[in-house]
Structure 1
């Protein structure tokens, strides 16, 4: 019997266009292994919403493997130690895996050394290959996109292997149910019912995006119609490859805006490749002097923001959608983040951590770069003095029906008054007053920015 190989699975839970799986299957018997490693990431271990998704996608992926005569082995612990022990137990000669860019993932890859054969498959192009003229990684997205676009289109996706050779003897696997990934007391995931984790749904979502891709440039900003692809958690868990998504919209009109959003994921991994602590450290050191608010009043404001009780309907709708469904509309993510950082003058890292725990698509590169973009502290970001006006943003992007859906206290408020019922004189008693005035919050943020400069 040919020596088996381990297929180390992380955020690449698919059979379609999976280069590590293809290489391992070509070499001989394959032992697919997923290691739940909560120690290596430290405080960046998966949040609650991600764990809910992980349970269901592992279940679906295990079924897909079984249909191919294979199986998914589950182990918990330090990934390097688990893989090393499993190689000795099974006599596996090599570990195949798709390359990842989170700092803890790269550390584990380095520790495995020449036992590990890495493949590129979770990006449109290998991150290290998209370089500036001086040979470094891009820190400005517009320049990155220009360079990446010259390398496009990506190669065609690879089909699912016809067979996945099985080893003569399977190692023992832990039981998924024993990992307690699903919430029980209480079960806060009842609003997640509209999600279907797994490769099959990811491919359906990509196909559904094709006929509406031309409208994406406008519709993606309208919360009430959700003109986005809802592919983000599927991409995060690797249930579909970026190049599969790229080619899914071929021949359906101008898909530039959609593809630029897809490429943003590649850019953010390039940022954390060169700045691995970007999730904790300001991209611009001058903002280390920024006087963030702290103390009881700031803590109370943070809690009100988390619970969607700020008195700003578009902000509250977004935060309640996040808690209920594990996802938030992209335009609203920017509005809610800007409100926390600018109007409330609360450190962006507080919001970043909340999103990390609540988002099913929480990705280290995306989450940290996006928060620093809004906060104005990042290497490629808005100026700190640019402050989004949530009330006018709500009206501009026609968020009335979105607000009525997620803030039931305002469900009966008609017309444009729903964007600012307090100013319109029709705020229901059950809905809170604004925790800070727009002008007051704006002026406080501008003064803090001056202090930092």
Structure 2
């Protein structure tokens, strides 16, 4: 009787999970495995969300007669140790593109070959696999979005993988514990924070679908419910991007956002140091100003829309996409601070923080990445008047300004002292802000 391990990494779901479906189709006994690696990058709020995702997935698998096996430590070592325990001859895993994921995949391939275990790497993290589309001329990836969008929309998407009805574990296997509720680091999250798991993802999707027809008009309005709030679920794979693209096919603007996500994945596959090095080296000189950086990080710059965005991030582990562009542009183009500093804050605090989208978008805003207009600037006050016309978004997250009526809330406010900036300095960002 053949046994397979379905190694779960960025696909915490049972629906349209190609790695899980492949294991079920090729083995009588299937062991879904998640290895809780303590070196996983990200802040406490992401650990809390992750453990909610794992608990939800475990419940779904138990409903189907199986279980989610939890181990702690190095992913490759624990996978091979479990394979020896259950005599597994097949390991399936979803392919990924970050440097960390690619090193893990190479090590896993080497160890599986040594132990004569078949390893199959499946799609599933994106709609179109990162290496499936190549520009004419042989370049490793598309560097401009519009040609990629044309190729992406013309591509044939894979079929949605079947959801397993029943799973059988090897007898006597200890599934291992999850942290008890409330003991997860960061468990004391804001009531506004998203709840992890596939069930929560699908509830969020159902709540968003009535707004899909108005997405093109509403998704940039800061105080509007017109955004999907699905990005954390895509980041952890609680929701399949391929399935979502099919469900949302009637809204070109929404599907275009999924294409942007795929775009940065294929860029990262070709340029894995996207979180460290500029895609478009231009001799940028970044200022060194700890006080300005701290004011930006803590939402105390005196520019209301910037402060609202950063406070939303701290409170919810999420920020409206328009606010992300405004806050990132303010740090890089107005304060003149290194994009890697801001990207590091986002990466730590965002539930949806991943290497391709976080660092790809930061480089786009900073003018070091894939933007064809690297010198574009966002006027934060003008953006605020346009996308928060009544000031509701700012008043929601900056309570000090709740007494200011109407759009006048967007005018800069004073914090009791002026920030004074020293002359620009040249130098690299601190290594602590460069997660692998």
Give the TM-score, by structure 1 length.
Answer: 0.86
Structure 1 residues 224-282: Cα deviation after superposition (integer angstroms, max 9, x where no partner): 113111010000000111121112224xx4x1111010111211111111111110101
Q: Which residue of 1 aligns with 2:284?
A: 290
SS for the counterpart of 1:127 is: coil
1:192, distance to aligned residue in structure 2 (A): 4.2
Question: In the aligned structure 2, how far is the partner of 1:74 from the partner of 1:176?
Answer: 10
Q: Which residue of 2 aligns with 1:11?
A: 10
SS for the counterpart of 2:70 is: strand
1:174, distance to aligned residue in structure 2 (A): 4.1
- What stretches of structure 2 of length at least 5 have no aligned partner? 427-436
- What stretches of structure 1 of length at least 5 have no aligned partner? 449-453
Q: Which residue of 1 aligns with 2:298?
A: 307
SS for the counterpart of 2:33 is: strand
Question: Does the CA-based 8 Å contact 1:311-1:434 persist in structure 2?
Answer: no
Question: In the aligned structure 2, how far is the partner of 1:118 from the partner of 1:158?
Answer: 14
Question: Does the CA-based 8 Å contact 1:226-1:329 persist in structure 2?
Answer: no
Structure 1 residues 373-411: Cα deviation after superposition (integer angstroms, max 9, x where no partner): 000011x12644322110111001125000011000111
Q: Which residue of 1 aligns with 2:198?
A: 199
Partner residue of 2:329 out of 338, 354, 361: 338
Question: Does the CA-based 8 Å contact 1:16-1:158 persist in structure 2?
Answer: yes
Q: Equivalences for 1:11-410 in 2 at 5 Å?
A: 11-26=10-25, 27-39=27-39, 45-113=41-109, 114=113, 115-135=118-138, 136-152=140-156, 154-171=157-174, 173-177=176-180, 181-183=184-186, 187=188, 189-193=189-193, 195-250=194-249, 253=250, 255-286=251-282, 289-294=283-288, 298-378=289-369, 380-381=370-371, 383-399=373-389, 400-410=391-401
Alpha carbons of structure 1 residues 15 and 172: separation in structure 2 relative to 1, 3 Å: closer
Q: How many residues align?
A: 416
Question: In the aligned structure 1, how far is the partner of 2:255 from the partner of 2:234?
Answer: 13
Q: Which structure has greater helix proportion? A: 1
Question: In the aligned structure 2, how far is the partner of 1:192 from the partner of 1:349?
Answer: 27
Question: Does the CA-based 8 Å contact 1:29-1:167 persist in structure 2?
Answer: yes
SS for the counterpart of 2:273 is: coil
Question: Does the CA-based 8 Å contact 2:134-2:141 persist in structure 1?
Answer: yes
Alpha carbons of structure 1 residues 237 and 434: separation in structure 2 relative to 1, 3 Å: farther
User: Where has structure 1 moved over 4 Å in runs of 4 or more?
Assistant: 431-436
Question: In the aligned structure 2, how far is the partner of 1:208 from the partner of 1:305?
Answer: 33
Question: In the aligned structure 1, how far is the partner of 2:349 from the partner of 2:388?
Answer: 25
Deviates more, 1:401-410 or 1:93-102: 93-102
Question: In the aligned structure 2, how far is the partner of 1:361 from the partner of 1:91?
Answer: 36
Give the TM-score, by structure 2 length.
Answer: 0.90
Question: In the aligned structure 1, how far is the partner of 2:416 from the partner of 2:197?
Answer: 39
Q: Which residue of 2 aligns with 1:451?
A: none
Structure 1 residues 288-308: Cα deviation after superposition (integer angstroms, max 9, x where no partner): x322111xxx11111111111
SS for the counterpart of 1:35 is: strand
